[in-house]
Chains A and B, each alone.
Chain A
Amino acid sequence: GAGVSQSPRYKVAKRGQDVALRCDPISGHVSLFWYQQALGQGPEFLTYFQNEAQLDKSGLPSDRFFAERPEGSVSTLKIQRTQQEDSAVYLCASRAASSYNSPLHFGNGTRLTVT
């Protein structure tokens, strides 16, 4: 079946603009994660959903970052008033179970460039 799908693939935003990044997880997957990957770095955790509930948002770097998953499937990561330091690849991942040792399935990411 289809994997995790993210859109857009690339996004260029002027400093101060708002952006919205979309993630379509694998159908039926309970858990959904957002990660931020800066150039040359490993992915860093942003936030975690179990169904529609956002159980952990400890990794969101500021209150400009907001994520939602209102119906427990598609998720949107919104960044308000983008800054240059927000430039990164944003990765979405889903997992069939809530178990911590189940593997994550990643999308190809959205590369955000803030100019």
Chain B
Amino acid sequence: AQSVTQLDSHVSVSEGTPVLLRCNYSSSYSPSLFWYVQHPNKGLQLLLKYTSAATLVKGINGFEAEFKKSETSFHLTKPSAHMSDAAEYFCVVAQTGANNLFFGTGTRLTVIP
């Protein structure tokens, strides 16, 4: 079975400081992992994906994530938060051959001016 656990339901950072959103996954086989962002009243947008190539994945808007198999983690980071980063972030796992994606419960990022 596959699942993801987002360890923080809410993260608050000051503008210009680093962002860390944590995600641990559980998967029977080699997973594909994604981070999606959801701004209020908007659709989900793909930030980045890991599909067994490089373990450090760079995404849009300066975000990146590192796949660590030994820790079963896929944490999302950004060196310097912008006000526009305030949104809900979802860690997502897809298992080889599976049709659907499994979403975490989300982390709400607040950026303080």
Which residues in A have some Cβ–Cβ distance to B below 8 Å? 3-4, 31, 33, 35, 40-45, 48, 55-56, 59, 91, 93, 100-101, 103-109
A-B contacts besides A56-B99, A105-B46, 15 pairs, CB < 8 Å: A3-B43, A40-B105, A40-B106, A42-B90, A42-B104, A42-B105, A42-B106, A43-B103, A45-B101, A45-B102, A93-B44, A100-B97, A101-B49, A101-B51, A107-B43
- Known contacts A41-B105, A91-B44, A106-B43, A100 near B94 by CB under 8 Å: yes
Q: For the complex, give the distance between the alpha carbons of A86 and B97 in Å.
A: 30
Are A44 and B34 in touch, CB under 8 angstroms? no
Q: Assign chain B's interface to a size class.
A: 20 to 34
Find chain A residues with CB under 8 A from B45 CB.
106
CB contact between A104 and one of B96, B97, B101, B104 (< 8 Å): that residue? B101
CA distance A31 to B36 in the complex (A): 18
A109 to B43, CA, bound (A): 7
A15 to chain B minimum Cβ distance, whole angstroms, is: 25
Give the residues in chain A near B34, CB-CB below 8 Å: 103
A-B Cβ contacts below 8 A, count: 59
Leading 5 A-B pairs by shortest Cβ distance: A42-B103, A101-B32, A45-B100, A106-B43, A106-B44
Q: Which of B96, B104, B105 contacts A100 (CB 8 A)?
A: B96
Contact pattern, B 79-113, Cβ under 8 Å of A = 1, otherwise 0: 00000000000100011111111111110000000
Q: Once the chains bind, are A56 and B49 in contact (CB under 8 Å)?
A: no
Q: Please tell me if the beta carbons of A91 and B43 are within 8 angstroms of each other in the complex.
A: yes
In the docked arrangement, what's the CA distance between A44 and B95, Å? Answer: 15
A43–B32 CA distance with the chains assembled, in angstroms: 17
Chain B residues within an 8 Å CB radius of A48: 99-100
Tell me if A44 and B103 are in contact (CB < 8 A): yes
How many angstroms from the CA of A41 to the CA of B95 in the assembled complex? 21
Contacting residues, chain A, for B44 (C-beta < 8 A): 43, 91, 93, 104, 106
- Closest A residue by C-beta to B92: A42
Q: A100 near B102 (CB under 8 angstroms)?
A: no
Is residue B70 within 8 Å, beta carbon to beta carbon, of the partner chain? no
